[in-house]
């Protein structure tokens, strides 16, 4: 089954304790992205990656890091979480093949993070 898998789904942590949210897709997609969802703000892009070893900042990258060492995985790292990073996080992927890409995103089920 084609899917994007995120872990953990729920996490409560404390300020300053480093954490990683993993994301894996099995569709051989070139493009992967992280979003955060906050009430009234829709989805805002944190970071994206157009292929292995190629990453770039989205609209709200402060306080986050990413890496793309393998095509299927795109972890989100919070080096020193703060309460304003309490949010619902989504990983998404898309085929990046030139000429065929319409921009459709496939989403994971979300990771709800609370930073105390």
The binding site for other proteins (CB under 8 A) comprises 4, 31, 33, 35, 40-45, 48, 50, 56, 58, 90, 92, 94, 96, 101-110
Minimum CB distance to other proteins, residue 34 (Å): 12
DSSP for the chain reads ---EEEE-SEEEE-TT--EEEEEEESS--SEEEEEEEETTTEEEEEEEEEETTEEEE-S--TT-EE--SSSSB--EEESS--GGG-EEEEEEEE---TTT-----EE---EEEEE-
Smallest distance from other proteins to CB 102, Å: 5
Rounded distance, CA 46 to CA 50, Å?
14
Q: How far is the CB of 94 from other proteins (least distance, A)?
A: 7
12 vs 14 by CB, closer to other proteins: 12
Nearer to other proteins, 9 or 17 (CB): 9
Q: Which is nearer to other proteins, 42 or 53 (CB)?
A: 42
Cβ proximity to other proteins: between 14 and 54 the closer is 54
Least distance (Å) between residue 4 CB and other proteins: 8
Q: How far is CA 11 from the centre of its chain?
A: 15
């Amino acid at each position: 089954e084609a899917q994007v898998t995120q872990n953990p789904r729920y996490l409560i942590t404390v300020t300053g304790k480093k954490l990683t949210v993993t994301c894996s897709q099995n569709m051989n997609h070139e493009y992967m992205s992280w979003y955060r969802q906050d009430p009234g703000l829709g989805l805002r892009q944190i970071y994206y990656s157009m292929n292995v070893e190629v990453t770039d900042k989205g609209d709200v990258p402060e306080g986050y890091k990413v890496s793309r060492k393998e095509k299927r995985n795109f972890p989100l790292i919070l080096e020193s979480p703060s309460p304003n990073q309490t949010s619902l996080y989504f990983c998404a992927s898309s085929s990046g093949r030139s000429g065929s890409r319409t921009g459709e995103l496939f989403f994971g089920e979300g990771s709800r993070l609370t930073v105390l």
